[in-house]
């Protein structure tokens, strides 16, 4: 039996009608597909943990080309240029080798994929400094090689030390120093440039970061608030890459929103895509918890979590990943209020979260591993229907703007007080 072998970067959460999964154990799991055709008519796909059989080859080709992985970490080898040779008998000094420098790109849509496209070998070397010559005793320094990178990049060395960060357009960080040219100080022997491996780690810079378990309606809310058009479907893990949306107001104010893929319990321990996506929360100014009013169940093998349990678990995951994240301003959006029996749940959640004693008593009823040490305080608790209630989403948009302004004023006041205290001490 002959199969046409192809490779596709598809995951089971992307499968649509017509797809069947064959697990490594040999059992079938069908995702909303029609009658399974005979094995000889199917196209075989190689996946890390599954084999995917599709009855529509054209459809699979289209999806596999369309799906491109989001890159938020890139490991590269950089080498500063060697210094130019000195001229001992005449006291000439060689030029300095070129530096390898990363520069914050001025393009809004610049990504690490663009960096990889420009340097597919992931090896970047700067030029050698000019040698000292009889008619030109001082060799010319080599020009640095500049690598544009997206904003939000942290450069990490092989031993885990942070070399520098890029947070603004035009900001520069030297990641590979050029060698000193030959001169009297080094016996006129040119020095080699710095050569090592560094990791460009991207943490998205956005005003607001969406947090929630899968299928809470984060992507639907992003679409309702902004012009972004993320993938939306009725099954969990629809969002597998971060999406950025821009909210534009009538006075030309712009606010960026980051819809992060749904977390799962244990994300702090890097379960699911834990660290890969939790790190993007670090640089957001405001957290927006998007919670399904009617709870969430990731699979039949997992317990159903109520809305309150979901809030507490998200709080705990943030705390375990990085405790100071719980100090960020946060807004709670209770989504899917259009579904039946929503009002009693909304009232119960509001009453519990706004009463410290009641909330503390509720947390104590949960297993010890679920209890956060630092329960988060929400600046606003809103009930919305991202899909159907435009008035509620417009109200949420204005509240987000207002809270960002309040936080900015508070930060300015703190900075001003700090500067005053320094002046008094001096």
pTM: 0.66
Check whether residue 259 and residue 381 sit in a common domain. Answer: yes
Select the more confidently predicted residue: 228 or 245: 245
| Domain-embedded: residue 83 | yes
CATH number at residue 144: 2.70.210.12
Provide the pLDDT for residue 107.
Answer: 86
Provide the pLDDT for residue 192.
Answer: 94
Check whether residue 309 and residue 359 sit in a common domain. Answer: yes
Provide the pLDDT for residue 298.
Answer: 72
* Count of structural domains within the chain: 3
Check whether residue 363 and residue 230 sit in a common domain. Answer: yes
- By residue range, what is the domain housing residue 53? 5-66
Check whether residue 292 and residue 406 sit in a common domain. Answer: yes
Residues 4-53: tens digit of each pLDDT:
333 333 333 333 334 444 333 333 333 333 333 333 333 333 333 333 44
CATH number at residue 351: 3.40.50.300
Sequence-separated (6 or more) residues with CB below 8 Å from residue 174: 99, 100, 101, 144, 164
| Domain-embedded: residue 421 | no
Phi, psi of 407 (to 5 degrees): -65, -40
Check whether residue 348 and residue 398 sit in a common domain. Answer: yes
Long-range pairs, 156-162, Cβ under 8 A, ≥24: 156/198, 156/199, 156/201, 157/196, 157/198, 158/196, 158/197, 158/198
């Amino acid at each position: 039996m002959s199969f046409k072998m192809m490779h596709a970067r598809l995951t089971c959460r992307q499968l649509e009608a017509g797809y069947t999964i064959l697990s490594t154990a040999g059992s079938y799991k069908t995702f909303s597909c029609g009658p399974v055709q005979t094995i000889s008519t199917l196209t075989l796909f190689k996946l890390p943990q599954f084999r995917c059989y599709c009855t529509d080859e054209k459809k699979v080709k289209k999806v596999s080309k369309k799906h491109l992985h989001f890159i938020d970490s890139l490991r590269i080898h950089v080498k500063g240029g060697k210094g130019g040779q000195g001229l001992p008998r005449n006291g000439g000094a060689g030029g300095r080798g070129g530096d390898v420098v990363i520069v914050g790109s001025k393009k809004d849509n610049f990504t690490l994929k663009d960096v990889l496209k420009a340097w597919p070998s992931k090896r970047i070397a700067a030029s050698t400094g000019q040698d000292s010559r009889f008619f030109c005793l001082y060799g010319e320094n080599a020009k640095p090689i500049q690598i544009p990178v997206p904003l939000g990049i942290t450069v990490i060395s092989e031993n885990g030390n942070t070399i520098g960060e890029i947070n603004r357009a035009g900001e520069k960080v030297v990641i590979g120093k050029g060698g000193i040219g030959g001169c009297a100080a080094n016996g006129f022997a040119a020095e080699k440039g710095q050569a090592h491996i560094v990791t460009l780690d991207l943490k998205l810079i956005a005003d607001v970061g969406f947090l929630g378990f899968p299928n809470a309606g984060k992507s639907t809310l992003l679409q309702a608030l902004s012009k972004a058009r993320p993938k939306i479907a009725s099954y969990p893990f629809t969002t597998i890459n971060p999406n950025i949306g821009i909210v534009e107001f009538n006075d030309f104010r712009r606010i960026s929103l980051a819809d992060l893929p749904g977390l799962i319990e244990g994300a702090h321990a890097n379960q699911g895509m834990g660290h890969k996506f939790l790190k993007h929360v670090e640089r957001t100014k405001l957290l927006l918890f998007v919670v399904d009013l009617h709870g969430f169940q990731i699979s039949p093998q997992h317990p159903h979590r109520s809305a309150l349990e979901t809030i507490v678990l998200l709080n705990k995951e943030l705390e375990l990943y990085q405790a100071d994240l719980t100090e960020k301003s946060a807004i709670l959006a209770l989504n899917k209020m259009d579904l039946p029996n929503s009002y009693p749940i909304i009232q119960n959640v509001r009453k519990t979260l706004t009463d410290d004693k009641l909330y503390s008593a509720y947390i104590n009823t949960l297993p010890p591993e679920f209890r956060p040490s630092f329960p988060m305080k929400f600046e606003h608790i809103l009930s919305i229907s991202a899909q159907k209630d435009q008035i509620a989403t417009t109200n949420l948009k204005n509240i987000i703007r207002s809270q960002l302004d309040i936080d900015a004023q508070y930060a300015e006041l703190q900075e001003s007080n700090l500067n005053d205290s320094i002046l008094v001490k001096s």
